[in-house]
Structure formats: C-alpha cells, structure tokens
Amino acid sequence: MSPIASALTIAGTDPTGGAGIQADLKSFQEREVYGMSVATSIVAQNTLGVEDVHHLPVPFIEKQLHAVFHDIAPQAVKTGMIATSEMMEMIAMELKKNRMPYVMDPVMVAKSGHSLMEEKTRKTIQGSLLPLSTVVTPNVPEAEILVDFPIKDQEDAKKAAKVIVEDLGAQAAVVKGGHLPGEAIDVLYEKKEYHFFKSPRTETKHTHGTGCTFSAVITAELAKGKSIPEAVKIGKDFITAAIHYTLGVGRGNGPTNHWGLRLQGVPNNATGGNDNE
Ligand SMILES: Nc1ncnc2c1ncn2[C@@H]1O[C@H](COP(=O)(O)OP(=O)(O)OP(=O)(O)O)[C@@H](O)[C@H]1O
Ligand SMILES: Cc1ncc(CO)c(N)n1
C-alpha cells in the first residue's frame, strides 16, 4: 500500500468554496490526505443560494473516474451531489469494480432549499449506491426520505440509522442532528451498536457545506485506516471547530472554517478519543 493516504470525492462544485468538491478537497488537505476529485455537476452557487446547475454527461464523468483509477488508487472514496439516476448507476458500477471504504453523503437539497437531486433519483440510491456504502451520512430530511417515516427526535434518528443499515444494506449510518433542536447530536449505528457524537449548538447562520465537510473528514480518516467510530469522532470534532471558528465571509449563509481544528492546537493526525454519550 502507498505510504501516502489518498481520497477521492465524486461530487458537484461550489465556486465560493464552502461546499461540494471544494470543501471536500480542503478537508482532505487539512487531514493530510492527498485529495482527488471527479465533478458530476458544475453548480453556479454561492452563500446566498443556487443560481443554476450544469450536469456533466455521464460518459465524461466515467472518463474522469477512469483517469483517477488508472493512475492513483485512492484508499477511500466519498460521493456528494449525484443528481441523476444515470450518473448514479454508472458510479455504482465503477465502485463495484474498485472496492474501498466508501462514504455516501446523500445530498438532496442545498441549505438554501434548492434541489440538488432529481426527485426520481431519490429512490435509485437505495438500489445502487447505498448497499455499497461503508458509511451513509444523511441529515434529518434526507434520512426521512430514505426510511419513509418522520424524524422528530433522537429516538426517531436511532430508528432511522438502524433501518438504513439493517433494511437498506449500508454497513453503517450516521443520522446528523444539525436539523433537530437542542445540542447537535449525531447518531451512528454500526455493528448493531449505537454511538452518539455530541456538541453544543453554535448559534450561527454560517453552516454552508457542513455536511460535505463532515463526510469528507470521515472519508480521509477511513483512508488512513481508522475505524468507523474513530473516523466519525474526528469528523465531528473537525466540523464543530469549523462552525465555531466562523470566518464570517459571504453575504448569506457563509462557509465554515476548514482550519478551525488547528486553532485549537489539535495536530492534524490526532486520533479520536472516546467521547461517546
Ligand atoms: N449550529 C450547529 N452547531 C454545531 N454543530 C452543528 C450545527 N449545525 C450542524 N452541526 C453539525 O454539523 C454536521 C453536519 O450536519 P448538518 O445536519 O448541518 O448537515 P447537512 O444538512 O447535510 O449540511 P449541508 O447540506 O449544508 O452540507 C453534523 O455533525 C451536525 O451535528
Ligand atoms: C455541490 C454541492 N454539494 C452539496 C451541497 C450541500 O451543502 C451544496 N450546496 N453544493
């Protein structure tokens, strides 16, 4: 195995750098993992919202994937925005040929409310990418769509994480608590056990790309060989600091601070302790 861990993101773009591929690459870099990216859709967006979306042709996305896989083998991969069923099916085929830890962030709707996935694609996930995933990281609205019941509190989030693993076939699931009231508690279900990752809620409007950043850090840590709970713990510490040390840039819901954890004096390769609830 290469001494350098590398990771690949397959996702949409954000020219203002807070979400999508740009956020993923910044997160990989912060975790000292060599970052690579394959674009699915080019998105004209900023902190105020999504202006327009241009989907790349499926054969062209496939060519980008081949360019990576034929040259530098990543140790882990994540997917973010995958807008159409056709893209999803092709990516699932490629990931079946190239098996490695795989983090699926099932991006459906931007924080601004703009849809980033066609309605009919929401069900394609379940038959294609989801069963291939090492970890799925839905927020509450995405988890509700995957499991088809409402999630109002932590008990519902626990049930959803379990259904995503036991009925839908993911190896592990983290239902993120960003959209529930109170402390920000993420629920991981893995190997028939629950783990809870808790942080105080920061009162801020600058949470653009939190989900992308969180799942990218998990991917980076899996690329280094960390266990799923260790990787999620580091993802949680990273995003908590990134939200806390807000940059205050952008006219709308601004990005997070990808070097926030460094400001706490935490070395990049620190391992996660056990901070479960
Ligand atoms: N205000 C907040 N304070 C502290 N942690 C937060 C806050 N909002 C979200 N988080 C944490 O950020 C991470 C991402 O969760 P969130 O639910 O915001 O993802 P998301 O909706 O998929 O994000 P996005 O769609 O913007 O990429 C989780 O670990 C969650 O607990
Ligand atoms: C490309 C892209 N992926 C994900 C999100 C969700 O944060 C976004 N706004 N843009």
Question: pLDDT tens across 94-124, in order?
Answer: 999 999 999 999 999 888 888 899 888 888 8
pLDDT at 265 (0 to 100): 72
Q: Where are the domains of the chain?
A: 6-258
ipTM: 0.98
- Alpha carbon separation from 25 to 7, 28, 38, 221, 255 (Å, rounded): 9, 5, 11, 13, 14
pLDDT at 123 (0 to 100): 83
- For 3-28, write each residue's pLDDT tens digit: 799 999 999 999 999 999 999 999 99
What's the DSSP call for residue 111?
T
Q: What percent of the chain has pLDDT over 70?
A: 95
pLDDT at 277 (0 to 100): 34
Domain 6-258 superfamily per CATH: Ribokinase (3.40.1190.20)
Residue 212 β-bridge partners: none
pLDDT at 111 (0 to 100): 80
Residues of the chain with pLDDT under 70: 1-2, 266-277
Q: Ligand 2 pocket: which residues have CB below 6 Å?
A: 11-14, 19-20, 43, 45, 80-81, 107, 110-111, 116, 209, 211-212
Nearest CA to ligand 2 atom 9: 110
- Alpha carbon separation from 149 to 74, 156, 194 (Å, rounded): 36, 9, 20
Nearest CA to ligand 1 atom 17: 178
Number of H helices, E strands in the chain: 9, 10
